[in-house]
Structure 1
């Protein structure tokens, strides 16, 4: 690559900026509710577990050197961490929970890619794992600081977002470097197809995030609590006027 040539990861970031911003806003809005109801967080873990599990299992099925290269550190394997968190948040029978249509369609798309163009599966590996190392860390910190159960007691530590002992900025740097090295061997048509699939990653992520339930119940609970407080305040003010 010449000194003035744009990095492929930079090119992807620019090409996916719009849909990526929409995805970030949706995820932040959706999982803001998880600060008050852990079932929403569990629901998010449930849909993404199936995607991460597929990608990690595909690594063994495909035996592709470039695919393997993206897993720059063994700690990136998150399948077991997801399973531990799901058992905690959704109970021991979480595997019996039915998948949404959006999730089924996502998995079917990944299966088709594995059969027809497995190279494009790397777009999902790159964006999803980088997202876990970036936005996933921010969500985890928000839950830790602002969560409803943050009462000073010992509480459960989420496994899927826990990268204790690892230099995350360095791992993200290594991850991008691996992606750029892989892309250096691609043709221009392959690069363009990869970028187009990258936009599809965020689109499909948005669909499964939107399928996560539980927010309505949380919102109703919040409104109920707010209404109760307002009624108490109104009652106090009315009583004060009567006895003034």
Structure 2
């Protein structure tokens, strides 16, 4: 995808963090305007959507952090290696265990679009580690920037516990001051030794990261539509009521019918199907990227 942003000699003299923000402006806006992201901002997100996006994020961060560990001593990445402060895999595992139970690894799917993202991360980490910084910057600083907004929206919309269960992904215990940490991260990234050609490749890789996310959004949108046609959402909206979640309906059913529907579905509830597990990745990934990077 071509953008109006060009790699002029004058522009390339700017700090890498500034260049990344400028280079990804168009694809950022594209991601920001996805239907699911807009719905999420309005608090229109179902519990099942949230579960499914958490699943997709788990695969993405597992791949990203595997490649980061592979290159943690490589000078092209080492200066921005902050595992205690940033890494999300363990937090996502905690959330998935809460949502799916102890057998969560057997329950979560890895959709084709998500797998494509995962494969790109592994390819970059193994063959072009100098490009890894583009993916790390896009994800982690986005998480730090938009995380608290997303956390509040999800907690309110899904009535998740105030104690934070199911929201570990948004909690950065190793970062006491997000603003100062982001400044430190940018300064480390801007100090990476990089020639002009490499810098251009990093910018292109950052745009590719956005496009990979958008492809996930589009694939999930299609699956959501099919799921609605087949009636799957109605079945899945009750699944996690057994975990003491009081409200998981997208539009909130009448209070008088809530208990009746809950009791009935507890007895004949079926395990989550692969189709429906796709739903959440679109809304939540879109919001994470779009809101997060907008605040960078």
Which residue matches 1:119? 130
Q: In 2 relative to 1, CA 42–148 (structure 1 residues): closer, same or farther, beyond 3 Å? A: closer
SS at match of 1:163: coil
Instruction: Tell me the alpha carbon deviations over residues 190-226 of structure 1, each in whole angstroms, 9 at most, x when there is no partner.
Output: 11111011100111112224445668437x9657959
The 2-side partners of 1:116 and 1:83 are apart by 28
Q: CA deviation at 1:37?
A: 2.2
For structure 2, the residue ranges without an aligned partner over 5 or more in a row are 1-12, 238-248, 255-296
Asked if the contact 1:35–1:143 (Cα under 8 Å) also holds between the matched residues in 2, the reply is no
Which residue matches 2:33? 25
TM-score of the superposed pair, with normalisation by structure 1: 0.77
SS at match of 1:64: coil
Larger Rg: 1
Which residue matches 1:58? 67
The 1-side partners of 2:129 and 2:21 are apart by 21
Asked if the contact 1:35–1:148 (Cα under 8 Å) also holds between the matched residues in 2, the reply is no
The 1-side partners of 2:104 and 2:16 are apart by 39
1:186 counterpart = 2:194 = yes
- Aligned match of 1:80 in 90, 94, 97? 90
Q: CA deviation at 1:93?
A: 2.5
Structure 1 window deviating more from structure 2 (40-49 vs 87-96): it is 87-96
The 1-side partners of 2:40 and 2:105 are apart by 21
The 1-side partners of 2:21 and 2:14 are apart by 11
Q: What is the total number of aligned residue pairs between the two structures?
A: 220
SS at match of 1:147: helix
Q: CA deviation at 1:176?
A: 1.1
Which residue matches 2:167? 158
Asked if the contact 2:56–2:114 (Cα under 8 Å) also holds between the matched residues in 1, the reply is yes
Q: In 2 relative to 1, CA 114–28 (structure 1 residues): closer, same or farther, beyond 3 Å? A: same
Asked if the contact 2:135–2:206 (Cα under 8 Å) also holds between the matched residues in 1, the reply is yes
The 2-side partners of 1:113 and 1:44 are apart by 23
Q: CA deviation at 1:74?
A: 1.6
Which residue matches 1:15? 23
Q: In 2 relative to 1, CA 137–17 (structure 1 residues): closer, same or farther, beyond 3 Å? A: same
Which residue matches 1:95? 105
Which residue matches 2:140? 129
Q: Greater helix share, 1 or 2?
A: 1
Which residue matches 2:55? 46
Moved over 6 A (4+): none
Asked if the contact 1:130–1:172 (Cα under 8 Å) also holds between the matched residues in 2, the reply is yes
- Aligned match of 1:104 in 95, 99, 115? 115
Q: CA deviation at 1:75?
A: 2.1
The 2-side partners of 1:209 and 1:30 are apart by 13
TM-score of the superposed pair, with normalisation by structure 2: 0.65
For structure 1, the residue ranges without an aligned partner over 5 or more in a row are 227-244
Q: CA deviation at 1:92?
A: 2.5
The 2-side partners of 1:222 and 1:78 are apart by 27
